[in-house]
DNA sequence: ATAACATGTTATGTTTTTTAACATAAAAAA
DNA sequence: TTTTTTATGTTAAAAAACATAACATGTTAT
């Protein structure tokens, strides 16, 4: 339930996303224009990308590498979303939206960050090897 | 092996870290002054924090909340690191350091980002609910 | 009461990001 | 084969974020 919060949380600025995806800022904004991603904004209007956004960008990149053009990519990536909107609106009509305070979000995120990659830790090895 | 890369990778700028940890920029830099974290820098000298840095900051915060002062926190958090340095230097003396190209790092990270939180996905539900 | 601590505040300079426009090579359509 | 559309590069100006450093201040310990 709370798991989605992490992956949709606006965390990364443009510069980081460029490096993670190896896409240019121009490309990343272009894909946004085409509604393939919808990053959040900071108070100062800076784009902030989530892990889901990055996933999506990497999908776009893969598809482009396969020679598929924007039109095709949109069909592929945005098609089950229209369905999703339907099922979501249906559902959200049924149950009331659960809201979180900033504090609650922070706590959830903290737990999840601590757990993220936990499975990689063989009993504190990381602490030994990486200050 | 590659797992550490993710947690030590410089990803988050100050603003994000402030929100994730609920610490002030001043505090975060202060803890750095005391060597409790050692964030990387961007080309333009901006601090970039890793998941490990954030973990560490949250540890510091907890300890402070418990009334422990910097001196104590340093003892607690930096003590097994000196040991770590030993065992690390020992080991690194034995085996040659494995280096990665930017490209390799990107690929590793991509895989790990895709996997990060994978266990939260019940067969694409997220895609349905959180485009 | 004094000193040391932990953090806030302010000032100034630098880096990063944004938006918007213009440019262009390659692909698609005419 | 021209013409149009696509996908992306480049550039410029303004705004936001961040860096460092100095000074200020409420607490805690001596």
Provide the shortest C-alpha distance from residue A21 to chain B (in Å): 7
In this predicted structure, which of A93-102, B3-12, B60-69 has the lowest mean pLDDT? A93-102
Q: What share of chain B is helix, strand, coil (3-state, %, to 5)?
A: 65, 5, 30
Query: CB under 8 Å to B58, separation ≥6 — which residues?
Result: A110, A113, A114, B21
Provide the shortest C-alpha distance from residue A85 to chain B (in Å): 7
List all nucleotides in chain C with at least one atom under 7 A from a protein Cβ.
5-9, 14-19, 21, 28
Pick the more confident residue, A15 or B81.
Answer: A15
Backbone angle region of A121, left / alpha / beta, with phi > 0 → left and psi within -120 to 50 → alpha: beta
Residue A61, pLDDT score: 94
Residue B109, pLDDT score: 52
Closest CA to A10 of B13, B49, B123, B112: B13
Residue B36, pLDDT score: 92
User: What distance separates the 2 farthest-apart alpha carbons in chain A?
Assistant: 51
Residue A128 falls inside a structural domain: no
What is the distance between the alpha carbons of residues A17 and A32, in angstroms, rounded to a whole number?
13
Q: How confident is the model at residue B6 (pLDDT cuts 50, 70, 90)?
A: confident
Residue B85 falls inside a structural domain: no
Residue A24, pLDDT score: 94
Nucleotide at minimal C1' distance from the B24 CA: C7
Helix H or strand E encompassing A30:
helix A25-33
- Give chain A's mean pLDDT: 69
Main-chain dihedrals φ then ψ at residue B47, nearest 5 degrees: -70, 140
Rounded to an integer, the average pLDDT of A9-30 is 94
Domain extent for B20: 3-79
Residue B71 falls inside a structural domain: yes
Residue A47, pLDDT score: 96
- Residues of chain B with Cβ-Cβ distance to A128 below 8 Å are 80, 83-84, 87-88
Q: Is A16 exposed, middle or buried (0-12, 13-18, 19+ CB in 10 A)?
A: buried
Q: pLDDT per residue over B54-108, tens digit each?
A: 999 999 998 988 888 888 898 888 875 654 444 333 333 333 334 444 444 454 5
Residue B60 falls inside a structural domain: yes
Residue A129 falls inside a structural domain: no
| Residue A74 · residue A32 · CB < 8 Å | no
Q: pLDDT per residue over B19-53, tens digit each?
A: 999 999 999 999 999 899 999 999 889 999 999 99
Q: End-to-end alpha-carbon separation of chain B, Å? A: 32
Residue A33 falls inside a structural domain: yes
Residue A106, pLDDT score: 52
Main-chain dihedrals φ then ψ at residue A100, nearest 5 degrees: -125, 145
Residue B91 falls inside a structural domain: no
Pairwise CB contact (< 8 Å): A11 & B16:
yes
- Residues of chain A with Cβ-Cβ distance to B106 below 8 Å are 19-20, 22
Helix H or strand E encompassing A48:
strand A47-48
Domain count, chain A: 1
Residue A37 falls inside a structural domain: yes
Pairwise CB contact (< 8 Å): B113 & A11:
no
Tell me what percent of the residues of chain A surpass a pLDDT of 70.
56
Rounded to an integer, the average pLDDT of A72-86 is 69
Q: What is the CATH number of the domain that holds B57?
A: 1.10.1660.10
Provide the shortest C-alpha distance from residue B131 to chain A (in Å): 7
Instruction: Determine the Cα angle at A34 with ends A33 and A37, to 5°.
Output: 80
Does the pLDDT at position A63 exceed 80? yes
Residue B16, pLDDT score: 94
Q: pLDDT per residue over B104-120, tens digit each?
A: 445 455 444 444 433 33
> Which span out of A74-83, A99-108, B78-87 was modeled with the highest average pLDDT?
A74-83
Residues with CB under 7 A from strand D: A 24, 26-27, 30-31, 34, 42-46, 64, 69-71; B 13-16, 18, 25, 29, 45-47, 69
């Amino acid at each position: 339930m709370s798991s989605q919060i992490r992956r949709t949380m606006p965390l990364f600025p443009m510069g980081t996303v460029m490096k993670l995806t190896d896409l240019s800022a121009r490309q990343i904004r272009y894909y946004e224009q085409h509604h393939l991603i919808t990053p959040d904004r900071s108070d100062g209007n800076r784009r902030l990308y989530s892990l889901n956004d990055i996933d999506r960008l990497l999908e776009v990149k893969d598809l482009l590498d396969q020679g598929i053009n924007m039109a095709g990519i949109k069909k592929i990536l945005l098609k089950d979303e229209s369905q999703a909107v339907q099922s979501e609106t249906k559902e959200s009509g049924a149950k009331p939206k659960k809201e979180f305070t900033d504090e609650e979000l922070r706590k959830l995120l903290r737990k999840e960050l601590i757990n993220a990659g936990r499975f990689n830790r063989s009993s504190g090895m990381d602490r030994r090897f990486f200050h």
